[in-house]
Structure 1
């Protein structure tokens, strides 16, 4: 779909056994679900790999099962704390991902689960929200009162929540759909939706705690999970500047910086994407990108450099070590404020 990391299979999963493979993190980026954009952000892939690995190791230490095995350093799989240079490969356990058929304007989850058995990637994203930041889809889907907030309309700035909001959205559909609990439970298959929520809350708690320890505010994020032999394990990548929104000193430190830049500087393309998604929903077309007649503009060099420094400096700060050659987090944040 829109992944900006490559996937390598060493030993494929089967109906009764996990496989083994690797994520290879690239410097590609994607905004508005477009897929690979026309340029790259240096150091981005390594920063996501490093942050993701650190969070997985934190989850494992807290007793949360995951598919993580370590980062790749040379020919070895090691803990991220043991590396001297930023890694770009993560070793993982693999599960089955059956085809999800699409016909007559709908997706066939029954066929997906018939093929999945007891070993599959749950075709959901479980979203947690601690803050409603600028750019959050929550603002489009309801008023503040819908979510228990004593506000008549959404303010320009971020809105903290007293308790995290947990939501479920589709994973493998061309356009993400937010789901009510009953439909999420059906799509999850053998995995119980209450268990998915419980795991998401624990992941959110651990990432939020680390963010607070290092000067960040963890605004929102998501997890993906696999189901194997009755157990739910956290999969994909957790707690990075692409999967989650973080802020530092009031400034976004996440992919949202690039989203907002495109909204300001390439509004024709952003509008075309929104129009195409709406037309595709109306017509029952799976791939909305075929309806977009304009392409996104490349980012200027100074924006790529500022974004690169933000990813690297942010990873350094979150890990608490100078693994990347980057400015301080304060300097990197000050720079993106002016973009």
Structure 2
């Protein structure tokens, strides 16, 4: 259990020996575009710590964002991360960005994409073309989402990397557009590319587990219409992402990244309520298709998460019972029509 954000941050940014060993096999600077988001800060510090322990202290970790929260930028700088302030969606010349051997693209537009679809496409598909042109000679690893797949029956094992895509809504379609743009760079410029289809990472301050706990804490029913989910510890998600950089290829390396279990929302809610010492009620009926991914390829390559779903649920309940900080950024995992 954790008693502070500092303890959580320390756990999220502690590199495994496997990550250190992988980092030791590479060299050069790493640039993270969109490093100011939910996962970016811990990703940057984890990379810095792993590179230090791998004997790569002279290689830079460069974190690029608008940095609307200067405090967060200062924290990263204190950890040895180089900070670059830039509005990537503005009119800036991408040639002004530093060179880097590895580029991790974490920029994304999700919430508001239904009401402002042009903005979603500009961020999720147009910007990647500018990045791909600027860093044609680098290795590029880009985040995508399991939303590029269709909803599937809960009796299935989930979609695999070989499953047909079927994005629903502007957000999911524009994320598939992002994949296609980077894949085109691999095809036409031989740029090595890795695509990470993630759903859903949790770090206790935000995530699906928090979203399920929120109505319990407010004395409201938990909606079971979206009755099953995938969840993965953010520390594992960060590690796998950084280790995936080495697998970037002009043939495009694609990886589903999530937890190994198909979890029942009702069972999650019941366990969270027990940990919170509260009653739980439900509305809606489970059983319909859900967004579920099969990450067997990920586990074969990188091993299973070091934090089980049960432990993560218990951590979440304890975190909230202690009144520790949350981000106020919902995942909206229960959205079924693609309108975010």
| TM-score by shorter chain over 0.5 | no
TM-score by length of 2: 0.29
TM-score by length of 1: 0.29
